[in-house]
Structure 1
């Protein structure tokens, strides 16, 4: 882009979201961080990005299960930056359990954070993007938005929903310079993936090392984790003028997982 963009990245205090926020800051864009975690660690990361890349980096701790807090997040970004040019819906949680034991509360929370929050954020920015004739919306889905795995009913349902949502928003923005794409990573070495290893081990009756080698990396023909830097680079490209005709697509970055 010819001028710095202003981005909101949900769930960006660690993992993929922080990787995308870092990639944006490196491009000279202003970024609104969002997520949970230790306040001191978040502030340290926020100030580091701002100082290293000489950009405006803000933080809002909106709970992505609460629509009123989501609206406040967008309002704060608009007030801080003037407008929101890029929205990345990345916030997500996971729970691994056989369906007969799957807690109803976990289902509700996963659908709220992984799927419904994207509706609320998108609704809050879409009219202004259309009016300005430019916008980039990126929904971080997953390879699990295209294929399924056992014991992840809520996560797979939410990520499939995000892919469908992406297509609809792409069609609604197509004549207004607003693109909407999904990124579908395979396994990325993040706190979210690391946290589900013991749960998966318990569900499958395996050791944690067996889960990594025989379940996680077995799914990816390259036998390597995707990196947050690779996901961030793809997000930057999707926001560029070169990607203006790429919309409504689910971009796999999964080491060949879905090709099998």
Structure 2
């Protein structure tokens, strides 16, 4: 197993991509702290891991709350004694053109993605530095590398997470910390399912047209990225044995973005 004896924390793991990665990490031998704004969602993921023979705890965590993030990291360290892998995955979306975008909606998206990633990073690095190293991962997006209409705060936040990832790779190198960012294309999670009708209204097209002509237009095969695709990349990055792979954006998008 690739992550045996490792302790991992994943935010936004009560559903979607975070849940898939949490389950995959556990199957690879990691002890997993499942953090989510929804305690019920976190508990459901953790209970599923335990039922499959893995080890997990559930943490209610608002990633925009400094005290909540610090307390969650401290709790898992008390429970397992260390933190080896942290993945900033929590995210939300808001669809609107820039000229109609409320500042409150801009701030809300930025707070969850970028501020939340910073708070988790700071708390996790303190533990990793003390223990001689670790892996800091971020759930970016193809939108960490290019833009799409109607998603200004999301695109800006995901670009910012790429910069944070690269900075951590530089700062953490002599402390044994590697840092990488996963950049998926569209995955049919609740976050994406919600966007389809929203974009259809804004763009004046059918939901089928949004999927075909917007979301999957630039893929090589017209296919959505899957949860398994993303979770496999997350395991690979967590288990990679050296700093040969650090500070990188790893795109998993069926060719939507080719770098």
> Which of the five TM-score ranges fits, normalised by the shorter chain?
over 0.9
How far does residue 129 in structure 1 lie from its aligned partner after superposition?
Answer: 1.2
Q: CA RMSD in A?
A: 1.6
Task: Provide the aligned length of Structure 1 versus Structure 2.
Answer: 258
1:70-219 matches, within 5 Å, as 70-219=69-218
CA distance in structure 1 between the partners assigned to 2:92 and 2:159 by the alignment: 15
CA distance in structure 2 between the partners assigned to 1:179 and 1:162 by the alignment: 15
Q: Show the counterpart of 1:31.
A: 32
Pairing 1:7–2:1 present = no
Q: 1:119 to 1:203 in 2, by over 3 A?
A: same
Match of 2:13, SS state, is coil
How far does residue 92 in structure 1 lie from its aligned partner after superposition?
Answer: 0.4
Q: Show the counterpart of 1:237.
A: 236
Q: CA-to-partner distance for each residue in 1:193-240, whole Å, 9 max, x for gaps?
A: 001111111111111111111111113222111111111111111111
Q: 1:2 to 1:251 in 2, by over 3 A?
A: closer
Match of 1:22, SS state, is helix
Pairing 1:16–2:17 present = yes
How far does residue 76 in structure 1 lie from its aligned partner after superposition?
Answer: 1.5
* Structure 1 residue runs of 4 or more that deviate by more than 6 Å after TM superposition: none
Match of 1:231, SS state, is helix
Q: CA-to-partner distance for each residue in 1:70-93, whole Å, 9 max, x for gaps?
A: 111111111121111100000000
| Gaps in structure 2 of 5+ consecutive residues | none
| Gaps in structure 1 of 5+ consecutive residues | none
Q: 1:243 to 1:51 in 2, by over 3 A?
A: farther
Q: CA-to-partner distance for each residue in 1:138-182, whole Å, 9 max, x for gaps?
A: 100000000000110000000000001100000011122210000
How far does residue 116 in structure 1 lie from its aligned partner after superposition?
Answer: 0.8
* TM-score of the two chains, using structure 2 as the length reference: 0.95
CA distance in structure 2 between the partners assigned to 1:2 and 1:28 by the alignment: 5
* TM-score of the two chains, using structure 1 as the length reference: 0.94
Match of 2:114, SS state, is helix
How far does residue 42 in structure 1 lie from its aligned partner after superposition?
Answer: 4.4
